[in-house]
């Protein structure tokens, strides 16, 4: 309860007292994030607002929230967005990964197939002990990702029974199954590996995420094996067998897959996953990502990824408006996996995960996976992070 001095400290409350109005009971909050530009595409909001948090949940999003708070963040001049959700990372590979992501505003992540049946326990342990919500896809290959030789050249590595056992033992962490299908990973086994991934996922009603580009089989044959809710990552992987035909048009089968609910994810990565001409050609035809993701690992600071806000900023150069940029990293990502259903939003009552970002104007160089550079005029930088109402990176 408030004592009299605390009530008088707030202008509105004291004005009300002096005016003889009924005594206001000012609310008490754990945290108020003051005066930022709140961009929350889940509720169509882009305006200067305060965000009040109590008991780990969003309590109010209003102009000039009065009331006491145990902690306050001054977000004037900054963007206040729902916490960022990165659906393709390798954060589960190392204990320090998730804490590093906190610094980038990432309040939810999915490890996309670092581990398979033989080594998933370590990924699951990292996810369970992470400071933010961490989930993982089980690689259909029992070894998980192996580089550079690739995990699916021997199709016997794709063992459905073992993958299902791993899922069943880790239902609190597993949100889907992963299959990397490029020629250097799977050779001619791409379609069979995908069939096995679907078979492993089916009894659990889980989505499958595939990694496309430079596959042996054509895009249309791969897409034919995807169901509603499955995810295509590295959507702008260049030919052969990307999303564009040899005249640069988005394949009708790709458009049809999107219409029937297949998700197309960016998946920045560092090698052979996207180039600027493919991004430009596809986005000119209106083929934008549903979600962004980094394909992050602990070395990403020194690759073209840098951090999630850097990856998001690449799309300003192609004309994506900021509300859509934020949507791809928040609400759209939250809708891909049901584990994130109360995330990616600042709606009242939602989990209070918040990313505070700074939008700087200037000259910024962005890199694709082939050392191609493009210069942009705007770049989002991570500035602060709140997880379940607690400030974990202070502005
Ligand atoms: Zn990856």
Residue range 233-247, pLDDT digits in tens: 999 999 999 999 999
Distance of CA 152 from the midpoint of ligand 1 (Å): 15
Tell me: the pLDDT tens digits for 293-318? 999 999 999 999 999 999 999 999 99
* Buried-exposed string 148-164: b where 16+ CB fall within 10 A, e elsewhere: eebbbbeeebbbbebbb
**Average pLDDT score over residue span 244-261:** 98
Distance of CA 76 from the midpoint of ligand 1 (Å): 36
Distance of CA 112 from the midpoint of ligand 1 (Å): 6
**Average pLDDT score over residue span 65-84:** 97
d(CA 134, CA 147): 23
**Average pLDDT score over residue span 112-121:** 98
The vertex-71 CA angle with 356 and 100, nearest 5°, equals 40
Long-range pairs of 8-16 with CB within 8 A, sequence gap ≥ 24: 9/68, 10/66, 10/67, 10/68, 11/66, 12/66, 13/66
Distance of CA 350 from the midpoint of ligand 1 (Å): 29
Instruction: Report the percentage of the chain scoring pLDDT > 90.
Output: 91
Distance of CA 3 from the midpoint of ligand 1 (Å): 54
The vertex-251 CA angle with 249 and 255, nearest 5°, equals 115
- Write down the pLDDT at residue 190: 96
Distance of CA 5 from the midpoint of ligand 1 (Å): 55
* Buried-exposed string 69-95: b where 16+ CB fall within 10 A, e elsewhere: beeebebeebbbbbbbbbbbbbbbbee
| pLDDT of 1 over the 70 cut | no
d(CA 202, CA 95): 30
- Write down the pLDDT at residue 25: 58
Residue 293, helix vs strand vs coil? coil
- Write down the pLDDT at residue 21: 45
Distance of CA 53 from the midpoint of ligand 1 (Å): 34
Residue 218, helix vs strand vs coil? coil
Distance of CA 88 from the midpoint of ligand 1 (Å): 6
Tell me: the pLDDT tens digits for 134-193? 999 999 999 999 888 899 999 999 999 999 999 999 999 999 999 999 999 999 999 999
Distance of CA 274 from the midpoint of ligand 1 (Å): 13
d(CA 260, CA 87): 20
Contact 101, 80 (CB under 8 A): no
**Average pLDDT score over residue span 219-248:** 97
What do you get for the CA distance between the two ends of the chain, in Å?
A: 29
| Closest to 104 measured CA to CA, from 302, 270, 310 | 310
Q: How far is CA 137 from the centre of its chain?
A: 14
- Write down the pLDDT at residue 148: 82
**Average pLDDT score over residue span 92-117:** 97
| pLDDT of 392 over the 70 cut | yes
Structure confidence at residue 55 as a pLDDT band (50, 70, 90): very high
Distance of CA 384 from the midpoint of ligand 1 (Å): 26
Distance of CA 189 from the midpoint of ligand 1 (Å): 19
């Amino acid at each position: 309860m408030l004592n009299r001095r605390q009530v008088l400290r707030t202008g509105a409350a004291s004005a009300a007292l002096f005016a003889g109005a009924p005594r206001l009971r000012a609310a008490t909050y754990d945290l108020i994030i003051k005066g930022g530009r709140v961009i929350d595409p889940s509720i169509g909001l882009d305006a200067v607002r305060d965000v009040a948090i109590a008991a780990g949940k969003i309590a109010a999003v209003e102009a000039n929230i009065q009331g006491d708070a145990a902690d306050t963040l001054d977000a004037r001049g900054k963007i206040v967005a729902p916490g960022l959700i990165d659906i393709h990372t390798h954060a589960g590979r190392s204990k320090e990964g998730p804490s590093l992501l906190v610094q980038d505003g990432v309040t939810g992540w999915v490890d996309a197939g670092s581990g398979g049946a033989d080594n998933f326990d370590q990924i699951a342990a990292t996810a369970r002990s992470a400071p933010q919500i961490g989930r993982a896809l089980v690689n259909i290959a029992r070894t998980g990702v192996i580089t550079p030789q690739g995990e699916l050249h021997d199709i016997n590595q794709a063992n459905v029974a073992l993958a299902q056992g791993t899922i069943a033992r880790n239902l609190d962490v597993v949100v889907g199954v992963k299959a990397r299908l490029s020629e250097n990973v799977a050779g001619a086994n791409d379609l069979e590996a995908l069939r096995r991934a679907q078979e492993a996922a089916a009894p659990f009603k889980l989505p499958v995420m595939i990694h496309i580009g430079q596959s042996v089989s054509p895009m249309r044959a791969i897409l034919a094996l995807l169901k509603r809710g499955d995810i295509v990552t590295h959507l702008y992987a260049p030919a052969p067998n990307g999303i564009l035909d040899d005249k640069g048009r988005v394949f009708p089968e790709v458009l049809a897959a999107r219409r029937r609910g297949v998700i197309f994810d960016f998946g920045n990565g560092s090698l052979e996953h996207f180039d600027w001409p493919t991004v430009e050609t596809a986005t000119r035809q209106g083929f934008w990502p549903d979600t962004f993701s980094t394909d992050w690992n602990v070395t990403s600071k020194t690759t073209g990824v840098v951090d999630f806000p850097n990856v998001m900023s690449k799309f300003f150069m192609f004309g994506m408006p900021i509300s859509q940029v934020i949507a791809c990293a928040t609400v759209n990502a939250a809708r891909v996996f049901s584990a994130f259903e109360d995330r990616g939003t600042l709606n009242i009552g939602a989990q209070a995960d918040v990313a505070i970002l700074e939008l700087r104007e200037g000259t910024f160089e962005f890199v694709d996976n082939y050392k191609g550079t493009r210069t942009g005029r705007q770049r989002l930088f991570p500035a602060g992070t709140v997880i379940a109402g607690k400030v974990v990176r202070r502005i």
